[in-house]
Chain A
Amino acid sequence: MLEIVAASLIAAGTIFFVAGTVGLLRFPDIFCRLHALTKADGLGLALIALGVAILAATPGAVFRIAIIWFFVAVASATCSHLIARYARQSGARGQHD
């Protein structure tokens, strides 16, 4: 039973990773692409982490998975902000030139 729940969560997570990649390819500009990568991939990772945590045997492994999820979530939001800021600043400079 737990295996089925875990497999469903991992499968759903994979769908969100595919959605993020489709958004990355289809969306028109860098800002929209960042939406796809941060939000869809973020939930994809959370679902896969949850599924793997259900299968994991030890509390230590669950804690490690939680730490991985936490740092990836913080890093992805921060990186997308930095990329968007750089795109805005370099784009504004390009318009003046």
Chain B
Amino acid sequence: MRATSPMRLHASARVHSISSADSPDLPLRSSGQKVPALRTPAAPGRRRGLPRFLVSLLVLSVIWGALTDWRADALVFGVPAVLLGASVAFLLPQGYAWRLSPRGAAPFALWFAVQSVRGAIDVAMRAFAPRMPLRPGFRHYDLTLPMGAPRVMFINAITLLPGTLSAEIEGHTVIVHMLDTRIDLDPALDDLETQIRALFALPQNTEASA
């Protein structure tokens, strides 16, 4: 029985492709069996609760201290607020683990500053130009960065690059709005991806992403 089940699944998939309306429960079962195999690679990368609580506690304490100039009487509000914030970080669903590379951070900050200045000057020139040179439209870009902080950072940074704005995410594709669709989207976003891989100490993607 156990040994024949792959064959049965295969047969049901073929039946499904011929007459899809007849047996909707069979393909559901076969796709349900795939889910654990997809989920396991993500599991080891998750962060543990207690270190996350302590890190949140430390970061929030420093922010509170800096905001109030380390005044002792402000701690009446500060201690409950910091404890509450760190507990929320502890109770929220755990995100994906990530780490920053100190060597990638400075080049990224510099590159990002230059790009956001270019982006702002570009959009300001278009706004002030009497004929307003715009050719807006949407383009797609395939996401290859891992889930979590690298991907969130990538999607937020798209908005600050010249002429691009992340409009929607559909699965592993980001839909980018462009002010001028005559400009090629891929080189700019490939650059950004390379920078973010360096920032998060991720291996570089050797094959060019479509």
* A contacts, CB < 8 Å to B: 15-16, 19-20, 22-23, 26-29, 31-32, 34-36, 38-40, 42-44, 46, 58, 60, 63-64, 67, 73-74, 77-78, 80-81, 84-85, 87-89
Contact = CB atoms under 8 A, between A and B. Distances in A.
A77 B75 CA distance: 32
11 contacts: A16-B124, A35-B179, A40-B124, A58-B69, A60-B69, A73-B160, A78-B156, A81-B165, A84-B165, A85-B169, A87-B167
Contacts of A38: 159-160, 165
B66, B119, B165 interface centre (most CB from chain A within 10 Å): B165
A89 B124 CA distance: 28
Chain B, interface size: which category?
20 to 34
Which of A22, A39, A63, A87: most chain B CB closer than 10 A? Answer: A39
Given A23-B123, A43-B116, A64 B66 contact: yes
Contacts, number: 103
Nearest to A75: B156
User: Among the interface residues B67, B168, B175, which one has the most CB atoms of the partner chain A within 10 A?
Assistant: B168
Given A31-B136, A81-B155, A42 B128 contact: no
A35 B163 contact: yes
Given A32-B134, A35-B163, A88-B168, A64 B67 contact: yes
